[in-house]
Each structure stands twice: as structure tokens, then as C-alpha cells.
Structure 1
């Protein structure tokens, strides 16, 4: 299995005394680390690299998976297996500031920066062209990656991406990093579970979803809670300030939108009830995005929410594999 040459001697045990990197949360697939220098700091980017299943017919294609704000590379476990079994090589990074990757002391977060970091990782792995799949915040990042590196993007797939609407233009007031930080200091696993049940899964909850709550709880527990809250605040500010909706016309790659219609996810902190009532209309947002993206296909899931690949894998994966065929 290919490794980033810049980090080939680094192990998870050697990283255990650094900033919180989910040391006690084991991923299903082996984790590698890519060393990079960004914004005058040395850091490392964790990633999973899974080859095609030996029993499959290799497609000689690579798929890159971009996680959401409340998720990590390991959230893609079933997706990785499905794609590997179908003959794809699969790369799933943890973005800087998230999960098993570095939490730098200071960082100017932007989707351009995260896309650049990911592109550097792929170049280090010798991958010049790939299919990019993004979920939630990762959908915003995937779209930005395709806009920045169209020649390196074979196909684009967006799973209930954020950024399909411009919250500030629609009346959501600016909250600010300090206010986000105070909110994140109050992290509660119970509150997160209630939020995801209500907003992501249309009131449904299954035991397998508990793993992703545990993952976030491990990040925010212990002496590093303040650090994690600050990084979470910075990335909320990035999401609010950098919607991709205004640039959909410039996407130059075939794009598939997978939209769970019961999703209620939106950045709406401080918005009036009247404004909130206009947000997160994914039935319309998906259609609007599909009209504006030059080579777009829209696939809707009427009864599913923010994470259709987690909520109904038996329904989602056949649609995904079909969409990825050339």
C-alpha cells in the first residue's frame, strides 16, 4: 500500500503525547501520516489509503473522500469497503484541525487552504487525477477542490453538501469566532446526539450512530477541550463566510448531487424564526444547484436526511456506484 514518503516512519504511538488526535479511538483501516508545512508550521495530515479488493476487477481509478465537520475519515468505513470491493483505490484524509490530524496552535482556515493541503497529499502519493466525494462540510471542500484543480478532478459527488445557500445573504447574522467558541466550550455528547437525531436523521436514531458521538466526545474530553473548541469555532466561521453556491456555474467536471430531502442542516445561529423558516429547504436547494452546475445529475432520497450513506446504505451505495461509472 502506498505511503506518503514524508511520514513513513511515524506511528500513532509516537503521536500520542501531542495535541488531541483521537489516540484512543481506533479506525477500521490503517492510518498513515503525511508531513506538511503550512502557514509557517510543521504538521501532519492523517489519512486512510485502501487499495482495490484483490477479488475485485481493478478500475485503475482513485476516489478521495472528504468528511464533514462532525465526522472523520473513519465515518467513511462502509463507503471505503463498498468502493474497494468495486475495484477502486480509496483515500480518506482527516483534514488539518480535525480528528487524527494536527491541531495547529494558530491557523487561518479556508476551504482553499484545506483543498491545497489535500492536493499536496495526493501529489505525494503519486495521484494526479481522482474522483472527489464530499459530505456536509466536506461537500463544500470537494466543490472548492474541483474549482481549484479541475484537471485533477475526474468526477465530483456531493452528499448533502453545506454551502448550497448563502446564510449571511439570507439574513443569518454574523456570530463571530468568540461567540462560536463559547458555544463549543459547552460541548455535550447528549446535546450532539439530540441535534443529529433531529436535524440529520429526521428523528431516527440507531445504535450504530453512537460511534460518531463517541468520536466527538473523545476529541472534546480532557485537558484539550479549550483547544478543540477554538478550532471548531474557526471552522464554523469558515463555513459561514465561504459558501460555494455563487460559483457552481464554474464547475467544469461531471457532478452528482445526492440529496436527502429531510435534512434540516443550516448555519442559523441568531437568526429570527422567520429567517430560519426559509433555510435548509433541501428539496429546492438540490434542484437549484443541479440547474446551475453545467454537468450535474441530481439523485434525491425522499425519506433520508443529512447522511444518506449512513442512514440507508442499502439504498445509497447502488446509486453511488452507478453514478461513478464513466
Structure 2
């Protein structure tokens, strides 16, 4: 049974470091910053935003630069360090000094970078099926810098058959969650030239967006904030072995593995996910 919280969500646009970012907000109370994954947007967090707001928190969820309705400048502007600075800038734009941070997939990597580079802004950290704990082969890390290869991969990813295949890999129970409408929405997003440009740019400047390549990997040990790692046991995009690697390198982390769940715990195990998050936020 899914959570039925229905707190009203506001949409705002803020300018941070010259970039216009779309931000969803709801609720009043201690702040929770929600960072979404690759290609999607803050809309993935809407049920969680509503749940947090109903539970007495202020949820803030930006569309990351290059995604959703935020600016999509392309090129070398996409780096882990810039994403961390933009996240801190969003907090400043809303008059927030301190926050808990929850990051899913790519957003988990952004949450880690934000915590390392702006430690005084982050009180608690949750990473969910996070990117960054699986070292890709060299050809996958460097292939995007080859002429036209990044563009070809981005174009291929928008083919409906490929969209469906990617979605099926993301869920433990794909037939429950994948609909023709979801595939069509994925096709539309991935066919957007601006989104494709973001994908190509992130591939071309892979090292600047990688925990190892950016030099941030050794600094994971600096994270002293209480940390919760949530992982779907059946995640086929970032297998559960990545969760154990995250637990190994994060000194103050607790690991919760959700059975019968894939890459999107906040969708596929929504009640369990929200219970874990709220209990963690309420710990003294």
C-alpha cells in the first residue's frame, strides 16, 4: 500500500552562479535537500516531498543543472564540484544554513560531493542506490570523448525498445511499474536535444563527474555526518556489492538493504523507504 500524503508542492526558479534552476518545495520545519538521479528530475521525489512535508519537514528538491526544467548549458560546466556548489547555492537562495541531504543514483554522488565540499551545510546524509561505487572499465570512462561516439550512444538510448530495456533493468518487478506511458515519457525525455547534449557532455567530461577522477574519492573518509545507505537488493544498474563498498569507505554509515527492490526504492518500496528515512531523520 502506498503512502497517501498530499502536501501542496510549490515550484520556484532560483538563479545560482548564473544558472536558472527549477526547485520544488513543500512543508515547514527542519530542511531536507533531495537530489535526483540521471536523466530524470525532481519530480521523481514528489511522493517523498509530500511525505516529508506531512511529517513536519521542509523538503527542497532542485532539478540538477542539465536536467528537468533547469538550465542546460552543455560543455565542461558539468562537474561534481559545480553540482556541489550549486546545491549549496540553492540552500543559500532559500535562506537555509543546514540540511539533511538525500541523494539517489547520480544524486547520491552529488550528495557525497556536497557533504565533502560544504561539510558545514550538511547535518545528515542518505544515499540511495548511489552512483560512484562501481569502477567502470577504461573504455566506458573514456569512450564519450571519442568523436561522435557520445552522440551515437545518446541517440540510441532514446529508441523505445532501448528505453524499455533500461527501465526493465531498473525494477525488480518491472511488469508492476513499466507502462507504455512510462516508456513514451522516457522516449520523449531522451529525444530532447538539450537532454542529449547534457548526456554527451557528462560522458565527454567523465573524470570531472567521477569520485575518483575528480579527486574526491580519498576524501570520503572525511565525512563525519551520520549516514544512511539504502539499497535495493535486486538493483541491476548498481548491484548490491556497491552498497557494501559504500559501507566500507564511509566511516559513519549504516546500511539498509531492501529485498525485492531494484534501483528505485522510493518507487518500488515506497513505504519501507519512507519509514527508513523518517526514522533516520528523527534519530538524536
Give the TM-score taking structure 1 as reference length.
Answer: 0.75
* Cα distance change on mapping 1:310 and 1:290 into 2, 3 Å: same
Deviations 1:101-132 (A, max 9, x none): 11125442101101111211210110010000
Tell me, in whole angstroms, the C-alpha distance in 2 between the residues paired with 1:209 and 1:143. 33
Asked whether the 8 Å contact 1:137–1:239 carries over to 2, the reply is no
Tell me, in whole angstroms, the C-alpha distance in 2 between the residues paired with 1:137 and 1:152. 20
Unpaired runs of 5+ residues, structure 1, are: 1-27, 53-59, 266-279
Deviations 1:201-235 (A, max 9, x none): 135233576665454433344xxx43331211222
* Cα distance change on mapping 1:290 and 1:308 into 2, 3 Å: same
Tell me, in whole angstroms, the C-alpha distance in 2 between the residues paired with 1:310 and 1:322. 18
1:35 to 12, 15, 25: 15
Q: For residue 175 of structure 2, what is the aligned residue in structure 1? A: 205
> Aligned to 2:175, what secondary structure does the other structure show?
coil
- Cα offset, 1:155, TM superposition: 0.3
* Cα distance change on mapping 1:72 and 1:212 into 2, 3 Å: farther
| CA RMSD between the two structures | 2.3
Tell me, in whole angstroms, the C-alpha distance in 2 between the residues paired with 1:318 and 1:210. 30
1:45 to 3, 6, 21: 21
Unpaired runs of 5+ residues, structure 2, are: 1-7
- Cα offset, 1:309, TM superposition: 1.1
| Number of equivalenced pairs | 268
| Aligned pairs for 1:145-294 within 5 A | 145-168=114-137, 172=140, 174-177=142-145, 178-186=148-156, 187-197=158-168, 199-202=169-172, 204-207=174-177, 213-221=183-191, 225-238=192-205, 242-243=210-211, 245-265=217-237, 280-282=238-240, 284-294=241-251
Asked whether the 8 Å contact 2:51–2:274 carries over to 1, the reply is yes
* Cα distance change on mapping 1:72 and 1:117 into 2, 3 Å: same
Tell me, in whole angstroms, the C-alpha distance in 2 between the residues paired with 1:253 and 1:290. 14
Bigger share in helix: 2
Give the TM-score taking structure 2 as reference length.
Answer: 0.85
Mapped pair 1:66 → 2:35: yes
* Cα distance change on mapping 1:292 and 1:230 into 2, 3 Å: same
Asked whether the 8 Å contact 1:185–1:226 carries over to 2, the reply is no
2:264 to 303, 307, 326: 307
